[in-house]
Structure 1
Amino acid sequence: MGVAASKKVEKTLKDSPEFDSACNSVYSDCLNLTQHAFPGVLPYQLSDASDRLHLKLSTALPLVKKWASLPPSQTQVDQAFKSVESDSGGETLNSSEFKAFAVELFRDAIVSNVQNAVLRRVPIGIAGIAGFGMVTRSGKDLVGGLMGIYALGVAAAVYLNLSG
């Protein structure tokens, strides 16, 4: 589910006019804060920029509201910057690099939260199925099959819910 979910979230973000608008707005705010003294967003501005992006996106995109309820952590910001920084090589991020940073940041945050949701839901359901199997003295093949179907169903339901 990881790669497919990651690509689905990335496509949703990149295709969203609300995401573009939020990125452009926050990018402009960052330039204004430095009084246009630099050609782009500086690394030290990225934490505040990600908080601003989260605020704008959590009201505009249901995907962010549901799966990234908290602003990205400093660690997530640093990881997203490192992946974009290695591509750009500059000291500042221009508009397209800033958008790539935002896609990376929110994609990883959303996918991480989705994976955590699946990992929380599956063991509870499997324990219930195992308990039911013990009480009814069902065969281990039947119980094992039901556990597999349940886990697959939870993962599919969460994946299908990623479109926003």
Structure 2
Amino acid sequence: MGLSASKRVQKSLSASPEFNSACDSTYAHCISVAQHAFAGVKPYQLFSAAEHLHQTLSQSVPLVAKWVPRPPDRDQVDRALKTVLSRRSVRDEEITLDEVEFKDFAAELFADAVASGAGREVLKRMPLGVAGIAGFGVLVKPGKEIVVAAIGAYALGVATSIYLSLDG
């Protein structure tokens, strides 16, 4: 299947004009709220920025609307920030994200949130289908190999269906 689910989502989000517009407006909002006191967005602003982005993206980006029912939590925000900061070549004492890093942060954050939501959906769908196939196998008694093959095909189908829906 090529790209991992989160990389696939990240690529799709970064190519979305709605995502880029939401990032630009949220970045400008953060700078404005801080009264232009900093050269970028400070870490303490990122949680409220994530909530603002979620509200905007839920209305305009189908991937976020479908897979991210609630704004990302603080752990997800912190993880995305650490990932973006790990890409820096020079470690600054004062952490601020410029506009490019903020977009990277948002893409990382929402790619992780979408992939997590899709993963939860796989875990929700899988047991029901497997139980249904196993129950059918008990009633019809087609043989263990056929039931196992049907369960495997079902699992692959569900995973593939969800993976392919991550393109946006």
State the TM bucket, normalised to the shorter chain.
over 0.9
Deviations 1:73-119 (A, max 9, x none): 01100111111122233410000000000000000000011011111
Corresponding residue to 1:114 among 114, 118, 128: 118
- Counterparts of 1:10-159 in structure 2, within 5 Å, are 10-88=10-88, 89-90=91-92, 91-159=95-163
Does the residue aligned with 1:41 lie in a helix, a strand or coil?
coil
Counterpart residue identity of residue 41, structure 1: V
- Percent identity, aligned pairs only, is 52
Task: Specify every segment of 5 or more residues in structure 1 that has no aligned partner in the other structure, as ranges.
Answer: none
Q: What does residue 167 of structure 2 align with?
A: 163
Stretches of 4+ aligned residues off by more than 2 angstroms: 1-4, 86-90
Task: Specify every segment of 5 or more residues in structure 2 that has no aligned partner in the other structure, as ranges.
Answer: none
The two structures, once aligned, show a CA RMSD in angstroms of 1.4
Q: Which has the higher helix share?
A: 1
TM-score, normalised relative to structure 2: 0.93
Does the residue aligned with 1:129 lie in a helix, a strand or coil?
helix
Q: CA deviation at 1:71?
A: 0.4
Q: Which moved more, 1:82-91 or 1:12-21?
A: 82-91
For these two proteins, the number of residue pairs brought into alignment is 164
- Contact 1:2/1:111 (CA < 8 Å) preserved in 2? no
CA distance in 2, matches of 1:163, 1:82: 25
Q: CA deviation at 1:138?
A: 1.5
